Amino acid sequence: MSNFSFNKIQNLIIDMDGVLWRGNTPLPGLKDFVNAIHNTNRKMLLATNNSSKTINQYLSKLQDMGIKATANEILTSSQATGNYLNNLSQNDRKVFVIGQDGLIDAMKHYNFQITNQNADYVVVGVDTNISWDKLNTAVQLIRSGSKFIGTNPDTTYPTENGIGVGNGIILAAIEAATNVKPMIIGKPERHIFDQALDILGADPSNTLMIGDRLDTDILGAKKAGISSLLVLTGVTDSNILTDSDIQPDVIMNGLPEITVKLYSSETQ
């Protein structure tokens, strides 16, 4: 554990699944936590590896839980992927997409042409309707030279009914058939953290990542030079934490404990 202090923290990058909610059930203390961020004059960015939902869908979900947020306070791995590829090249505009509303919406937002032929990129996010045909098309395109992009590597995610299957499973299947590793844009890679810091206008030294996964949230924060806080309300329990080489700067049981710390410290 480091000598972490909330006093220096002005910006919070916050994961959603397993931190703010499980499935459609808000975790205890959610409203008070968000109020504490605003009341202590801090800024937040809700940054998720979940590529399935659009920004508007997340805003609606937050509203249903009594949380007011704006579109510029949310960053998904789909958005981050679209932004990254858009800045990478103005010439390579054809993409084959495995994914749901969030990823399709992000690709269209950045004016990519979605196709299943001669694609510059194969972009893969979580897809609950994954099929043999989709996998086969992705494999054939990558074997023909399309660049393999993954929104995020999560193999699991927390739900009300336990642990669900994540995008990493789809990526692993395609990698096994092509022997090509995907470029990952979401956590734990720097791409999404750099975008998050840019949106916040933040410096790593005054920013805190709050997440529930060691291999994405906490590892990504370390790569980006950001302090990290692990909550034990998601996929990581004390046994996983003990056995891991990846360790956060601070560990807390849930949002109420963080809320107390936010109020008891003053930003500098």
Residue 267 has pLDDT above 70, yes or no: no
Domain 6-49+187-264 falls under CATH 3.20.20.150: no
Cα gap 67→136, rounded to integer Å: 41
pLDDT in tens, 50-88: 999 999 999 999 999 999 999 999 999 999 999 999 999
DSSP letter, residue 17 = B
Residue 174 has pLDDT above 90, yes or no: yes
Cα gap 123→171, rounded to integer Å: 10
pLDDT in tens, 134-144: 999 999 999 99
pLDDT at 132 (0 to 100) = 98
pLDDT in tens, 231-264: 999 989 889 999 999 999 999 999 999 999 999 9
Confidence of residue 266 (pLDDT cuts 50, 70, 90): low
Cα gap 261→36, rounded to integer Å: 9
Query: If you compute the radius of gyration of the chain from its CA atoms, what whole number of angstroms results?
Result: 18
Cα gap 94→112, rounded to integer Å: 6
Q: List Cβ neighbours of 36 (8 Å cut-off, separation of 6 or more).
A: 258, 259, 262, 263
Give the number of other Cβ atoms within 10 Å of residue 124's Cβ. Answer: 29
pLDDT at 268 (0 to 100) = 46
* Three-class DSSP category at 267: coil
pLDDT in tens, 201-241: 999 999 999 999 999 999 999 999 999 999 999 989 889 99
Query: Residue ranges of the domains in the chain?
Result: 6-49+187-264, 95-184
Q: Is there a common fold for 6-49+187-264 and 95-184?
A: yes
Domain 95-184 falls under CATH 1.10.3720.10: no
Residue 2 has pLDDT above 80, yes or no: no
Quote the pTM value: 0.93
Cα gap 76→55, rounded to integer Å: 8
pLDDT in tens, 85-136: 999 988 999 999 999 999 999 999 999 999 999 999 999 999 999 999 999 9
Measured between alpha carbons, how far is residue 248 from residues 74, 111, 141, 218, 237 in Å? 23, 38, 39, 6, 13
